[in-house]
């Protein structure tokens, strides 16, 4: 494992998917497309641009097909689609998604709440998706997420052995990318360091993504713990939007501009343009109809200095 502590950190922007899926106010298709097109100019190499799930489960993202067909594809940007089943995979491939992100929870209870099926049924469906992808008309990458990997709002603690074993199963099925998701912000930095170290024995760092929510304020602390343990790829949402509608108490993802700011201040390259990101983040309250939780878009960057008050000169 490379322990170079200035190695780039890859940010996968997930606001168009995790961010918008929980919003009550309908975001017009053209506004979703404009948001993704804006994000495509910020330097991201990966954007989760939508999901292809049941429109009854997530009405806010029911226009995934039109969104994927309407966006301007940035060069070198992988556009990811979250899919729960074969039907979703068919729709995502018809809309030319570059990568499919399959999701199953480590917790049976959360999987039943979110996907309306057992973990075993989810896995059986993933097997069919792997076959479908092999026969796709263009190369499609595969990622699979272990949701509630660090704790479940219904079941509480999740056995680390179970998470490792699901990651191993995904890899054995031929799914290269693995995401460990802290769906409702229950992870702590020491737990993260332990689990990342274990999963990196099975999965190369280039294929591993960590997905944190800031529900209990530990989001960026968890990022640092994971990075120090060797993880290099992280999901984050512009403005700190996000949350799973089928997990009680869910709230936003770690905030992209807060993450990029932290990395910049620490000397960890992300390739993302913070100034552009802040400008885009400031358009979010108008888009979703409420304030967002991100800090840096409100405070500005460290280098955005203020003129000293007049009286200072006289002291």
Residue whose structure tokens are 């360091």: 193
Apex 82 CA angle, 292 and 297, nearest 5: 20
- Cβ neighbors of 267 (< 8 A, separation 6 or more) are 6
Q: Is 244 in the site for ligand COA (CB under 6 A)?
A: yes
Could you say which of ligand COA, Zn ion, none residue 105 binds, taking C-beta under 5 to 8 angstroms by partner kind? none
> In angstroms, what is the minimal distance from the CB of 22 to ligand COA?
8
The Cβ of residue 40 has, within 10 Å, a number of other Cβ atoms equal to 20
Instruction: With contacts defined by CB under 6 A, name the span among 51-59, 198-206, 213-221, 227-235 that binds ligand COA.
Output: 51-59
Apex 51 CA angle, 50 and 55, nearest 5: 120
Q: Which of 12, 40, 51, 179 touches ligand COA by CB under 6 A?
A: 51
Tell me if 18 sits within 8 A of 237, measured CB to CB.
Answer: yes
Which member of 42, 119, 152, 244 is catalytic?
Answer: 244
Q: Known catalytic residue: 244?
A: yes
- Residue whose CB is less far from ligand COA, 40 or 183: 183
Q: Which of 8, 29, 31, 54 touches ligand COA by CB under 6 A?
A: 54
Helices 108-115/119-134 angle, 10° precision: 60
Q: Is 57 in the site for ligand COA (CB under 6 A)?
A: yes
**Phi, psi at 183, each rounded to 5°:** -55, -40
Tell me if 76 sits within 8 A of 43, measured CB to CB.
Answer: no
- Residue whose CB is less far from ligand COA, 68 or 227: 68
Q: Is 227 in the site for ligand COA (CB under 6 A)?
A: no
Could you say which of ligand COA, Zn ion, none residue 112 binds, taking C-beta under 5 to 8 angstroms by partner kind? none
Q: Is 166 in the site for ligand COA (CB under 6 A)?
A: no
Residues with active-site annotation: 244
Binding site for Zn ion (CB under 5 A): 18
């Amino acid at each position: 494992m490379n322990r170079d502590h200035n190695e780039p950190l890859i940010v996968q922007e997930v606001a168009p998917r995790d961010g918008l899926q929980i919003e009550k106010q309908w975001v017009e298709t053209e506004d979703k497309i404009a948001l993704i097109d804006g994000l495509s100019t910020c330097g991201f190499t990966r954007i989760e641009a939508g999901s292809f799930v049941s429109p009854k489960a997530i009405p806010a993202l029911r226009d995934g097909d039109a969104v994927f067909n309407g966006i301007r594809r940035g060069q070198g940007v992988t556009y990811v689609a979250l899919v729960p089943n074969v039907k979703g995979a068919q729709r995502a491939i018809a809309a030319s998604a570059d990568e499919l992100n399959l999701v199953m929870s480590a917790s049976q209870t959360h999987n039943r709440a979110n996907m309306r099926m057992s973990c075993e049924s989810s896995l059986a469906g993933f097997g069919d998706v792997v076959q479908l992808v092999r026969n796709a008309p263009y190369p499609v990458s595969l990622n699979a997420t272990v949701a509630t990997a660090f704790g479940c709002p219904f079941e509480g603690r999740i056995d680390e052995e179970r998470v490792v074993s699901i990651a191993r199963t995904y890899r054995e099925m031929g799914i290269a990318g693995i995401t460990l998701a802290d769906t409702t912000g229950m992870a702590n930095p020491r737990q993260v360091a332990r689990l990342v170290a274990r999963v990196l024995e099975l999965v190369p760092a280039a294929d591993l993504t960590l997905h944190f929510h800031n529900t209990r304020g530990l989001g960026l602390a968890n990022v640092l713990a994971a990075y120090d343990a060797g993880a290099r790829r992280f999901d984050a949402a512009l403005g700190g939007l996000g949350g799973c509608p089928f997990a009680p108490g869910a709230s936003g993802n770690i905030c992209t501009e807060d993450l990029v700011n932290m990395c910049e201040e620490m000397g960890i390259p992300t390739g993302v343009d913070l100034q552009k990101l802040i400008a885009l983040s400031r358009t979010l309250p108008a888009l979703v109809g409420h304030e967002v939780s991100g800090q840096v878009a409100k405070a500005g960057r460290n280098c955005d200095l203020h003129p000293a008050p007049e009286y200072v000169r006289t002291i």
